[in-house]
Amino acid sequence: MKAAAHPTPRPRDAKLLVVDARGAVRHAAREQLVDFLVPGDLIVANDAATLPASLTGVHLRTGLPIEARLAGRRSLAVDDVHEFSAVVFGAGDHRTRTEDRTAPPALQPGDRLALGPLHAVVEKTLGHARLIALRFDGTPDAIWAGIAHHGKPVQYAHIHEPLAMWDVWTRVAALPVAFEPPSAGFVIDWKLLHTLRERGIGFATLTHAAGLSSTGDAALDARLPFDEPYHLPLQTVQAIVHARSAGHRVIALGTTVTRALEHAATLHLPLRAGFGVANQRLGAHSRPRVVDAIVSGTHEPGSSHHELLRAFTSEAVLAQADAALLAGGYKTHEFGDSVLIERDREPAASGRNEVPTKLHRAGLSMSRLRCATA
Amino acid sequence: MLHPTSSNPLQGLRVAVTGGTSGLGLALLGALHERGAAVAFVARDAARVNAVAQRHPGSHGIVGDVSRKEQAHPLALQISAALGGLDVLIHNASSLGPVPLALLADTECEDFEAALAANLLGPFRLTKALLGALGAAAREGRPARVVHITSDAAVNAYAGWGAYGASKAALRHLGRIWDEELREHGVRVLDIDPGDMDTPLHALAVPDADPATLKRPAQAAAEVIALIEQSIAAQEASA
């Protein structure tokens, strides 16, 4: 697949590959997404706004340039903003692929970093020379101001133009806690929210601190996704319970929503509202317990995003979908096209007590879904 | 997290005020802070922001200029980060345009553009950047409000008030359209004319006005807050 080279979160010609519960694959325009939903279905989106998480500056002990990409935080609490984990790079910028970036200076606990108006101390390395725990000086308000004004959105080498904050915020971006955009949410605009209301399709949100999608280091990438704190509001839990009890589907907009909901499901079923830290990996070994379908960007096989899709459908169907993406000229990465994948019907694989949805019970195929909404 | 209570709907309400270091904005900050709201305020002058924040412990002073496009998202980020979300956004910061006031035929285009940037485009951009936070508040059953501070110059044609009056008229209409579009999502937009006040902005516009004939900013702030409370009460009554 070809990487989307322009930061257009909502291109008019965006495509949607739809994979239904039977593994049937078809092509659609992304603006047709709503036509694959039926009244009573519930879309859940991640309303995290994206931090300008790339902070450039100087490693004071050596005087060498450094880039710290904020990568994690232990909670979403507004005043818990002193300590972050960060992936560090040496000289260079986003025009160089992360894989080819200069190594940062060797960091030791106690080293100080001057990152524009922000000052931070390296507390320790986190099992890898380029992954550190850092602590900012100053009040929470001063730290937020420093990040807001000095930080830049994490850039991608395949995007030619510098990203601005408005490029990486979805239309429902609220609390600034994501490190990279929850990009499946780019499908949302307020016109879609209006249409969902008109058609009786639910919309709810959670807040999940979406982490870095790639670090350019194989050893670090193997540890992705990092732990991600999230908040699941009471109203969202109620909407999910309502949808599922009526036999309707819960459609997660993105891997982060799926990760949060499925993590919450490991703690309590029925779900409970509250804060959590998603630390699990979803893949072929797991079976979604809350999410019936996922809308995701298109990602290459081997990436953690792609791996998560294996929780929804078989390897054979995914391979078929990947071939269709390639043949259809879909664009990949954060500003690319989308897929809608309905969870396949293999309840025996999970061994869990699944609540079949009305659509599953009815055995509706995608073509009938289309007819139902036409 | 605090939640507004019916006995004091301002308790725990998360409010942002632009132009918060003087005039009506400062009075709004003081009254909201005193009534238990969590308040973030925006103004251009860092020294004044710090001084006002120190006088209102627990408030969040944010340095920025709403008229500048590139500052909308950094401001939105700081507001929602400081307050953990947002319930009420009060667009109070204003520019007169030309000072001293000028007839339209004598108004430089740049001064007109400055009035539009501060009084119309700035509020549009900041509302847009914070709409996700406001929508999230509404989905959680909280009162979500955007308040445009307008003026009778938005309705009446006063000679010499062209840039200001035209920009405030547009702001007022912007508010009506926002409200039409957002009410189904639980976000309401209010246009409020606070009347002629004894403020630095008014002194710039009418240097020889007798302050005794003008409304005190604290009184105007109390009236603005009462209208917000009424709007919240009406929503609760209809729920």
Give the pLDDT confidence score for residue A346 in this predicted structure.
Answer: 62
Q: Say whether A205 and B82 touch across the interface (CB within 8 A).
A: no
Catalytic residue positions of B? 164
- Kindly report, residue by residue over A350-360, the tens digit of the pLDDT: 433 333 333 33
User: What's the pLDDT band for A13 if we cut at 50, 70, 90?
Assistant: confident
- Counting residues of chain B whose pLDDT is more than 90, the rounded percentage is 89
CB atoms within 10 A of CB A320: 16
Is the pLDDT assigned to residue A53 strictly greater than 60?
yes
Q: What is the pLDDT of residue A97?
A: 75
What's the residue count for chain B?
A: 239
Mean pLDDT (whole number) for B81-107: 97
Are A85 and A43 within one domain? no
CATH of B14-238, one of 3.30.300.180, 3.40.50.720, 3.40.50.2000, 1.10.10.60: 3.40.50.720
Residues on chain A bordering chain B, Cβ-to-Cβ distance under 8 angstroms:
47, 49, 51-52, 78, 81, 140-141, 144-145, 147-149, 164-166, 169-176, 190, 193-194, 197, 204-205, 207, 233-236
Domain ranges of chain B: 14-238
- Out of A169, A172, A174, whose CB is closest to B73? A169
The encoded tokens of residue B109 equal: 């285009």
pLDDT of residue A295 exceeding 60, the answer is yes
A361 and A252 fall within a common domain? yes
**pLDDT at residue A214, as a whole number:** 83
How many domains, chain A? 2
- The answer, as to whether pTM is greater than 0.90, is yes
Whether A157 is in a domain gets the answer no
Report if residue A245 sits inside a domain.
Answer: yes
Domain, as residue range, for A238: 2-50+162-373
What are the tens digits of pLDDT across the range B219-229? 999 999 999 99
Tokens of B235: 């929503």
DSSP letter string, B33-68 = HHTT-EEEEEES-HHHHHHHHHHSTT-EEEE--TT-
Residues A75, A78, A79, CA angle at the centre, nearest 5°?
Answer: 95
Residue A330 DSSP symbol = -
Q: What is the mean pLDDT of residues B140-154?
A: 96
Q: Where are the alpha helices (DSSP H) in chain A?
A: 140-150, 165-168, 190-199, 218-221, 234-245, 255-267, 304-309, 315-327, 347-350, 358-362, 366-373
- Give residue A356's pLDDT: 37
Residue A345 corresponds to which amino acid? R
- Cβ–Cβ of A205/B136 closer than 8 Å? yes
Q: Which residues contact A144 (CB under 8 A, 6 or more apart)?
A: A81, B77, B78, B81, B82
Distance CA A163, CA A153 (A): 6
Percent of chain A with pLDDT over 90: 72
- Strand extents, DSSP E, chain B: 14-18, 38-43, 60-63, 88-91, 144-149, 187-192
Using a CB-CB distance cutoff of 8 angstroms, which residues of chain B are in contact with residue A185? none
Q: What is the pLDDT of residue A368?
A: 29
Judged by CB atoms closer than 8 Å, whether chains meet at A205 and B139 is answered as yes
Contacts with A175 from chain B: Cβ below 8 Å: 80-81, 84-85, 133, 136
**Pairing status of strand B14-18 against strand B38-43:** parallel
Q: How confident is the model at residue A304 (pLDDT cuts 50, 70, 90)?
A: confident
A140 assigned to some structural domain? yes
pLDDT category at A370 given cuts 50, 70, 90 is very low
Rounded Cα distance, A87 and A217, in Å: 10
CATH code of the domain in which A27 resides: 3.40.1780.10
Shared domain for A65 and A182, answered yes or no, is no
Give the torsion sign (CA, B8, B12, B17, B22): positive
Rg value, chain A, Cα = 21
A348 pLDDT tier (thresholds 50, 70, 90) = very low
What CA–CA distance (Å, rounded) separates A287 from A261?
Answer: 12
Higher pLDDT, A331 or B159: B159
Among A4-8, A99-103, B141-145, which is the least confidently predicted range?
Answer: A4-8
Residues A46, A176 share a domain: yes
- Mean of pLDDT values over A39-68: 97
* Res B190: pLDDT: 98
Kindly report which listed range (A189-193, A252-256, A341-345, B24-28) carries the lowest average pLDDT score.
Answer: A341-345
The model's pLDDT over A247-259, given as tens digits with 9 standing for 90+, comes to: 999 999 999 999 9
Q: Does A119 share its domain with A173?
A: no
CA distance between the termini of chain B: 22
Q: Please give the Cα distance from B137 to B131 (Å, whole number).
A: 10
Nearest CB to A174; choose among B70, B80, B181: B80
Q: What is the pLDDT of residue A6?
A: 62
Mean pLDDT of B66-79: 98
Range with the lowest mean pLDDT among A101-105, B31-35, B132-136, B168-172?
A: A101-105
| Residues in Cβ contact with B210 at an 8 Å cutoff, skipping those fewer than 6 apart | none
Q: Same domain, yes or no, for A332 and A359?
A: yes
Q: Taking CB atoms and an 8 Å cutoff, what residues of chain A touch B75?
A: 148
Rg (CA), chain B: 17
Interacting residues of A191 by C-beta distance below 8 A, sequence separation 6+? none
Put residue A270 in one of left, alpha, beta given phi > 0 → left and psi -120 to 50 → alpha: beta
Give the C-alpha distances (Å, rounded to integers) separating A320 from A16, A17, A24, A291, A342. 15, 11, 9, 22, 14
Judge if A122 and A102 occupy the same domain: yes
Per DSSP, the three-state class of B224 is helix
pLDDT, one tens digit per residue, over A155-179 is: 877 777 889 999 999 999 999 999 9
A9 and A71 co-located in one domain: no
Contact A141 B62 (CB under 8 A): yes
How would you class A68 by CB atoms within 10 Å of its CB: exposed for 0-12, middle for 13-18, buried for 19 or more?
A: buried
Assigned domain for A155 exists: no
Q: What was the pLDDT predicted at A359?
A: 35
Distance of alpha carbon B141 from alpha carbon B144, whole angstroms: 9
Helices (H) and strands (E) in chain B, counts: 8, 6
Q: How many CB atoms neighbour CB A367 within 10 A?
A: 12
Question: A10 pLDDT exceeds 80?
Answer: no
The neighbour count for residue B232, using CB atoms within 10 Å, is: 22
Mean pLDDT of B41-59: 98
Cβ neighbours of B139 in A, within 8 Å: 204-205, 233, 235-236
Token pair for A371? 């007819």
Q: Across residues A104-115, what is the average pLDDT?
A: 96
Mutation for testing the B interface, residue in A76, A141, A150, A191 having most B CBs under 10 Å:
A141
Least confident piece of the model among B109-113, B139-143, B208-212? B208-212
Contact B133, B144 (CB under 8 A): no
For B159-196, the pLDDT digits (tens) are 999 999 999 999 999 999 999 999 999 999 999 999 98
Q: Say which of A176, A193, A233 has its CB closest to residue B81.
A: A176
C-beta of residue A130 within 8 angstroms of C-beta of residue A89: yes
Which one of A175, A195, A201, A205 makes the best mutation probe of the B interface by having the most chain B beta carbons within 10 Å? A175
Tell me the CATH number at A93.
2.40.10.240
CB A331 within 8 A of CB A337: yes
Tens digit of pLDDT for each residue in A131-152? 999 999 999 999 999 999 999 9
CB nearest B135 (choices: A81, A172, A197): A172
* pLDDT of amino acid A361: 33
Q: Residue A159 is encoded by which pair of tokens? A: 């995007």
- pLDDT surpasses 70 at B122: yes
